[in-house]
Structure 1
Amino acid sequence: MKLSPAAAAASLFSRQGSIDYNSAPPNLSTLANSSLYSTWRPIAHVLPAYGSIGDPCMHYTDPSTGLFHVGYLHDGASGATTSDLVTYTDLNPLSEPFIRAGGINDPVAVFDGSVIPSGINGTPTLIYTSVSYLPIQWTIKYTKGSETQSLAVTTDGGKNFTKLPHGPAIPGPPFAVNITGFRDPYVFQDPQIDRLLDSASGTWYNVISGGVHGEGPSMFLYKQYDSDPGFQTWEYLGQWWHEEANTTWTEAGWAGRWGFNFEVGNHLALDEHGYNAEGETFLTLGAEWSYAPIVPEVSDVREMTWVAGNQSLENGQLKFHPTMAGKLDWGRSAYAAAGKIVPSWSQASKKSGAPDRFITYLWLTGNFYGTLDFPVNQQNWSSSLLLPRELSLGYLDVVDNSVAREKGSWRVESESYGTITLAMLRQEIAREVTSSFKSNATNTITQAGGSISTTQPFAQTPLSKRYMLSAIITFPSDARSNHALKAGFSILAGPHEHTDIYYRFSNESFVIDRSTSSAAANTTPGIDTRNESGKLRLFDVPIDTGSAIETLNLTIIVDGGIIEVHANGRFALSTWVWSWYESSRGIEFLVDGGEVEFGNVTIWEGLVDAWPERSAGF
């Protein structure tokens, strides 16, 4: 669905004056186009002014301005700049793209890419997947020449990336490899690799995601050839990382499956403070897989994962070996994470006093990767990016027992006198965002907690469906043996619909129960109300009197139709909830099967308008 810029501008801020949100919904597909524009649209998240958004990609910090550029697929690729990771300015009016398909190298499509901030002639230089043939999918035979990697540069602050007038910089996949995919180049520098390969300091490397038919997913590694200032020649270094098809880090389910094909691989190095070029090597990556070993049709099963590991030379080739792995987000519709270094000298970091960081964004698809007949025309938009997240290497001191020793999304780092230190990926909403939500709240609600064993409503109901909720839940010492115990919150609750978010000890999982979340789902096909879930282990931690179960530190973001659940600095579960009734704003303590202790709960209403210039009508 594509409107002209004039039509888009006319309908951009339409309101639903004739729609009654106090009555039962009609079949939404019968409503006028754009009539649901504001119903579930988030205000604090990144998405275009209209139309669909795809993968986040092509981010960079501009050395000349200190602005962070956030890119995403949208009729090619579009994007915005931000000086604070909270508010954004479109690079072009109405979110028009800075690069489109249609050149000699990319007659069909522009896929993901990444940017060298000071590349050709010192300008931001983009290397992206240029597409000549479709379809491309791991379940079918690959068409030679489908995906190549091409270059473009910008000289106007990122508003336009001009394609270089020559063939692709990487004209095809490795010779004689029967690949499943070859896309999403990610460029990076790594002094550790420089030393291992005896490369010049500051050499650029490029990891391209894909796989090999009949063998499994792979990351293909390339190196800038002889410090080529034009970045037009890349040396193939081999399959830097490869896994057998459809295997997994652990069958206990902590990290999902590696699948058959990797996508959107990002290379980064982290320490406990954030980005550090000498830190531990991490990747974020998407994995495509199927419940069956071999399927003839396209599969829509995907994992958004992370992995940490070591690099070494083996028979002259650089290889990556995982040491721990997990999921970056457990939402089935959360995928295609892409990030970039946000240095301490960037505008955002200087304002907040943050060190060098790696900031990543995820895509939250609104129609489950195009497989649901959601009423997109009535919205005039589809999908969004999730709030930016800071990634770092986390450590946690826990009691040394079988719960901690199991192979999961953590690694035993050290041990001492009955305790061990676990290493894990730490991920939190960017500090600027949560700080801004608090300082700009239009209304703050504080709800007293205490020992609670039954469902209880809050004394005060939020005025809107846009807020950040913060809570601490303490579970009793016998919680591990009480398989009936669950605790959390019922939100967006009213007489006709509600959404339950809770932690259950029986399977160590967070659940977002969407079965009764949307009255509109009863009248309209294509509204997904399947439950979402993700695994989180609460460890036994040492205290003065012995040990206790780790407390659950919970943050819930509600922004129109988006729900983000973040816990203990290492867990995220995101999804859409299509709440219909205006009255569906209530919140309740949700407890079943026992008693837990809630700390005081705070709700900051209003969030922040991420697009003030759009709100002002451009």
Structure 2
Amino acid sequence: MKLPSAATGLFLGTAAATPLSLRSSTLNYNMAPPNLSTLPNNSLYETWRPRAHVLPPNGQIGDPCMHYTDPATGVFHVGWLHDSAGIAGATTSDLATYTDLNPNGGQAIVPGGINDPVGVFDGSVIPSGINGLPTLLYTSVSYLPIHWSIPYTRGSETQSLAVTTDSGRNFTKLDQGPVIPGPPFAANVTAFRDPYVFQNTQLDTLTSSQSNTWYTVISGGIHNQGPTQFLYRQYDPDFQYWEYLGQWWSEPTNSTWGDGTWAGRWGFNFETGNVFSLNEEGYTADGEIFGTLGTEGSDLPIVKQLTSIHDQLWVAGSVAKNTNGSVEFTPSMAGFLDWGFSSYAASGKVLPATSKPSTQSGAPDRYISYVWLTGDQYGQAEGFPTNQQNWTGALLLPRELKVQSLDVVDNALSREEGASWRVESNNTDAGTVELRTLGISIARETEAKLLSGKPSVEAGRTVSSAGVLPFQHSPESKFFVLKTNISFPASARQSGLQTGFQILASESEHTSIYYQFANESVVIDRSNTSAAAQTTSGIDSFTESGKLRLFDVLDGGEESVETLDLTIVVDNSILEVYANGRFALSTWVRSWYANSTEIRFLHNGVGQATFSNVTVSEGLYNAWPERA
């Protein structure tokens, strides 16, 4: 996935950045909005800009990539594609506040070299690589357009090296050709990009490699066969040669995990594949193998247009040698890393316990992942006021990934095949099973910072009547975190119950967030989110949802429905919803009116629900204290 996003079109080239000019403060947010695309450039710069998220000072952010912990300083580096003109980045010592590596968010590496005359796509960093320095393996691009739906031009994408000697501010390309000069011989690929470097003890054993060998997966697919990941390993100490180990994981064209209910589609092409190993504490080199990946595809069996689906998935599985001696990855479960329509291109990195963020928080070795929230429907939001806003997209809050175990009642709900969990063991005497899935939560340092202000406590309540009930103490701003637990009676499973909240609410606007048992989903109804959507065609307002099963659990020996544990982060226009340590759904909520700050309890009048531990932490923090 590259800027200006090929999600639904071709990679055609670069887009010119809009010059930063004076920002208008003359807009009246107490009156109905005009057609925002007719306003002066930069007039909407502050209107929906988030405070606590990662994004450049201006322009378009793209795929997160190039993350690493600097061995010399212990700080964590976060990178991203920026304005189709290379990779920019920042450092953080606490996973909450960031410092730009270069003035005005400038890039650390740009296209224009002998290997990358037209593009620099995603790359991944070996923290102690050539001469012990951080070394970037990245996709060097020589030809455009590139898209999974058209014939591939040979030589379009190669993998090259660059090294930094100034703490990541600049990555200098090696004066040589690519270290991986193209796809495997005679492979009719859909793509060959986004190398991700990692280490794994299981692969060391299976491939008879030395300990701490570096591997890389390159994402893509094969025309008329399906998406795939190409596996390579380091061949020499200087990382000049990479040995091809085969297509270690492939799926049939546009197929699904199970029936697709819990993990979308594998699509026609894989992008931004990451590989790492986890246990219940976090990262461990000998843990269960997981991966995150973006999938490009179509809802149609035969593609008749370039519009595509983009699912941001995770997968877990095992590795073994197959009959021809090559290594093969076999999935055992899969799911969505984020259910949001605009959430894509996740990339992460191991954050060791010795890093500055982990040393301060006492955290163990972890895997931290960032997800891109594209701000313009992958470039397809016609009429979006891009020049008026002068920034597009953001990275979602950093997430800790780990193995999550659940003890639940042994019944049809827990035994479903093709789901985003698997049965690890069973206790016949107790009538329970242990489930395993991917744990997804806001990084602990980030969440602590989000909640650092004094919370406002709202009285708990049981609701059964249809309607909305305003909070006693709603926030005064559009920057807050709402946390709560919602419990349900067993009868809720057979009802049409819908319950949750309205946020960013006023007489003119509101966004509804609720859980419904009918299809076991967390729903974000944006049909009334923004008055601007009524005047500006590029402001999306469709409803988004993601599946979350609440299992039956034992509580004091009695069966009950698992409690819904919600964390809702509102950072002006960015909404992130987390649930039960294993669910995330993120989207844009571009409210217009200044007084759209109210929170309300919401219930549809079917059955009852009990809200407890309801708190609102208002204000959030400034993630960029050094920016003007």
Q: SS where residue 177 of structure 1 aligns?
A: coil
Q: SS where residue 413 of structure 2 aligns?
A: helix
- Map of 2:463 onto structure 1: 452
Matched, 1:345 2:354: yes
Hey, what's the Cα distance between the residues in 2 that align with 1:18 and 1:79? 33
CA contact (8 A) 1:133 1:146 kept: yes
What are the superposed Cα offsets for residues 507-555 of structure 1, whole Å, 9 maximum, x if unpaired? Answer: 0011100011100011111111111110000000012142100000000
CA contact (8 A) 1:139 1:296 kept: no
What are the superposed Cα offsets for residues 338-387 of structure 1, whole Å, 9 maximum, x if unpaired? Answer: 00000000000000000000000000001010011210101110000000
Match of 2:440 among 406, 409, 427: 427
Shift of 1:252: 5.2
Q: SS where residue 572 of structure 1 aligns?
A: strand
- Map of 2:406 onto structure 1: 396
Shift of 1:294: 2.2
- Map of 2:237 onto structure 1: 229
Matched, 1:469 2:482: yes
Q: Which residue identity is paired with 2:64?
A: P
Matched, 1:220 2:230: yes
Matched, 1:301 2:304: no
What are the superposed Cα offsets for residues 42-90 of structure 1, whole Å, 9 maximum, x if unpaired? Answer: 0100000000000000100000000000000012100000000000000
Matched, 1:603 2:616: yes
Once superposed, which parts of structure 1, at least 4 consecutive aligned residues long, lie more than 6 Å away? none
Matched, 1:292 2:300: yes
Hey, what's the Cα distance between the residues in 2 that align with 1:562 and 1:583? 17
Matched, 1:40 2:40: no
Match of 1:534 among 519, 523, 546: 546
Q: Which residue identity is paired with 2:336?
A: K
Q: Which residue identity is paired with 2:296?
A: E
Q: SS where residue 113 of structure 1 aligns?
A: strand
- Map of 2:337 onto structure 1: 328
Matched, 1:79 2:85: no
- Map of 2:4 onto structure 1: none
Hey, what's the Cα distance between the residues in 2 that align with 1:291 and 1:578? 28
* Range with bigger deviation, 453-462 or 416-425: 453-462
List gaps (5 residues or longer) in structure 2.
Answer: 1-14
Q: Which residue identity is paired with 2:619?
A: G
Match of 2:267 among 252, 259, 269: 259
What are the superposed Cα offsets for residues 478-518 of structure 1, whole Å, 9 maximum, x if unpaired? Answer: 11111x10111000010111000001000001110001110
Hey, what's the Cα distance between the residues in 2 that align with 1:93 and 1:280? 40
Matched, 1:518 2:526: no
CA contact (8 A) 1:458 1:588 kept: yes
Hey, what's the Cα distance between the residues in 2 that align with 1:611 and 1:395? 36
- Map of 1:499 onto structure 2: 511
Hey, what's the Cα distance between the residues in 2 that align with 1:297 and 1:143? 20
Q: Which residue identity is paired with 2:279?
A: D
Q: SS where residue 206 of structure 2 aligns?
A: helix
Match of 1:90 among 100, 115, 133: 100
Hey, what's the Cα distance between the residues in 1 that align with 2:578 and 2:563? 14
TM-score by length of 1: 0.97
- What pairs with 1:36-75 in structure 2 (closer than 5 Å)? 36-74=44-82, 75=85
CA contact (8 A) 1:286 1:305 kept: yes
Q: Which residue identity is paired with 2:460?
A: G
- Map of 1:277 onto structure 2: 285
Shift of 1:3: 4.9
Between the aligned residues of both structures, percent identity stands at 61
Q: SS where residue 378 of structure 1 aligns?
A: helix
What are the superposed Cα offsets for residues 246-289 of structure 1, whole Å, 9 maximum, x if unpaired? Answer: 11111151011111110000000000000000100000001111
- Map of 1:551 onto structure 2: 563
What are the superposed Cα offsets for residues 275-324 of structure 1, whole Å, 9 maximum, x if unpaired? Answer: 00010000000111101122143233110000000000012100000011
CA contact (8 A) 1:137 1:298 kept: no
Hey, what's the Cα distance between the residues in 2 that align with 1:575 and 1:37? 19
Match of 1:126 among 104, 124, 136: 136
- Map of 2:388 onto structure 1: 378
Aligned CA RMSD, in angstroms, stands at 1.0
Hey, what's the Cα distance between the residues in 2 that align with 1:409 and 1:488? 24
- Map of 1:570 onto structure 2: 582
- What pairs with 1:97-108 in structure 2 (closer than 5 Å)? 97-108=107-118
CA contact (8 A) 1:2 1:51 kept: no
Hey, what's the Cα distance between the residues in 1 that align with 2:17 and 2:205? 52
- Map of 1:586 onto structure 2: 598
Hey, what's the Cα distance between the residues in 2 that align with 1:497 and 1:117? 48
What are the superposed Cα offsets for residues 400-423 of structure 1, whole Å, 9 maximum, x if unpaired? Answer: 000100021000000012100000
- Map of 1:19 onto structure 2: 27
- Map of 2:378 onto structure 1: 369
What are the superposed Cα offsets for residues 151-183 of structure 1, whole Å, 9 maximum, x if unpaired? Answer: 100000000000111111100000001111100
CA contact (8 A) 2:69 2:76 kept: yes
Hey, what's the Cα distance between the residues in 2 that align with 1:529 and 1:367? 12
Equivalent pairs counted in the alignment come to 604
CA contact (8 A) 2:527 2:543 kept: yes
CA contact (8 A) 2:299 2:308 kept: no
List gaps (5 residues or longer) in structure 1.
Answer: none
Q: Which residue identity is paired with 1:488?
A: G
- Map of 2:6 onto structure 1: none
CA contact (8 A) 2:63 2:80 kept: yes
Shift of 1:17: 2.1
